[in-house]
Amino acid sequence: MKPHPPKPLFVICGLAGEKKLKGTVKINGAKNAALKAMAAAILFDGPVTLENVPDNADVTTMTEILRRLGATVNRKNGSITIDSTPIDSTDIDFKLAASMRASVVLTGPLLGRFNRVSFPAPGGCVIGARPIDLFLEGYKKMGATVDEDKCSYKIEASDGVKGTEVFFNKQTVGGTETLMMAAVLGTGKTVLKNCAMEPEIVNVAEWLNACGAKIKGVGTPTIEIQGTDGQLLSANKPFVTIPDRIEAGSFLILGALCAENMTIKDCEPKHMGAVINLLRDSGVPMEIGKSGIKIMKNVAPSAMLSPVADLRTHEYPGLPTDLQAPMVVFLSQTNGESRVFETIYEGRFKYIDDLNKIGANITVLNPREVSIQGPTSFDSASGEESAEVCAHDIRAGFAVVVAALIGKGKFTVSNIQLIDRGYEKLEERLRALGANIERK
């Protein structure tokens, strides 16, 4: 047996608290919209084109899953063309799907078009329980049967997907998207209540409507879908992926701590109200444009930034759970105590030990709440070559990179294959801003 190649690392030399980064960051297309549009391609008669698609590891995984189902997928210069006509299997690849939770959205289009699908328990980042009961109960109401064992599910709607009413006991982005897509080709009207309202859902639904779907109310808590009775959609226009608000928010937090002047371009500020307001209220000087944000004359020491007494993650338009970890790093540099309550996932504080190891003063009060005392200095251990921290998930990985950049000395970030899932060529983009970071 051949030995596994060593996993890549980031090696970072910190800025010792100085705001030396500068320049412009271009924001890529939203991963969480592109992945769902890739799944939705199954609903179409013939090839569809997706534009402004990010080149990250999750998109690569979804590409390979679709190919193993039989679809033709071609990628070129930020665009992807998908033809679902050749699909000859509805069994989602177990190994690939187990590595990425977004793969579960494929079940909706596959069930809607082929009336059957099998898939593994969804995987991805280890950030808490991800029950899919909401999906399964929805499929049952749509007339499907669900057979399951401890690691897989088989769903069949022998008479096709039927219109029904589904009330989500809690807002769920994946559940909203997946059941919406399952209903598109179905029979009758499906009403989804207490839906998630994220911009990525709106982005996909508006494209589907332009191509023959009948979806109303997207972006509100109630969505109605009138099924097409099996009529496949027509590729009347390409899907254009909206800017990634999580990536934009991540770089905005980075700039707030590490840059005197930085421009974040090709973003959608109206999708980022929560993080913009939090940073502005803390004292970060910003200029907000139609499609860009400028951090300007950010010269005051971070210790002059104001803490946040009670910050809570929330479904859109609240602070995204995916920006919780970068915000905790930000708050570790503010002057006073902040508290962060994670309302979405109970397992998202695994990175706290890594931050405390390099100098943070953060107390985990319970699985959903932390207290942060700032300002603190991040420092690699004296007498050692570098301090080692780990990327526990995509966003916590970005957070520890930011902490290392703030810090003094040399830092090694492991498990960066998780960061690659959500941030395209991160080290190259950070070097272009002046960071000292290498992939080993």
Nearest to 39 by CA among 58, 75, 66: 66
Which residues are known catalytic residues? 125
Report cis status (omega within 30 of 0) of the bond before 238.
no
Question: d(Cα 202, Cα 42) in Å, to the nearest integer?
Answer: 18
Strand partners of residue 83: 47, 72
Q: How many CB atoms lie within 10 A of CB 95?
A: 10
- Counting other chains too, the contacts that 379-382 makes at CB distance below 8 Å and 24 or more residues apart are 379/407, 379/408, 379/409, 380/14, 380/407, 380/408, 380/409, 380/410, 380/411
CA angle 106, 107, 108 (to 5 degrees): 90
DSSP code, position 305: S
Looking from the CA of 349 toward its CB, the CA atoms found within 13 Å total: 21
Contact 259, 21 (CB under 8 A): yes
Question: d(Cα 110, Cα 91) in Å, to the nearest integer?
Answer: 9
- Core vs surface per residue 269-278: b (16+ CB within 10 A) or e: bebbebbbeb
Contact 330, 257 (CB under 8 A): yes
Q: How many CB atoms lie within 10 A of CB 242?
A: 21
- Core vs surface per residue 156-179: b (16+ CB within 10 A) or e: bbeebbbbbebebeebbbbbbbbb
Phi, psi torsion values for 199, nearest 5 degrees? -60, -30
Report cis status (omega within 30 of 0) of the bond before 375.
yes
Residue 269 to residues 18, 243, 250, 316: CA-CA distances in angstroms?
27, 10, 13, 14
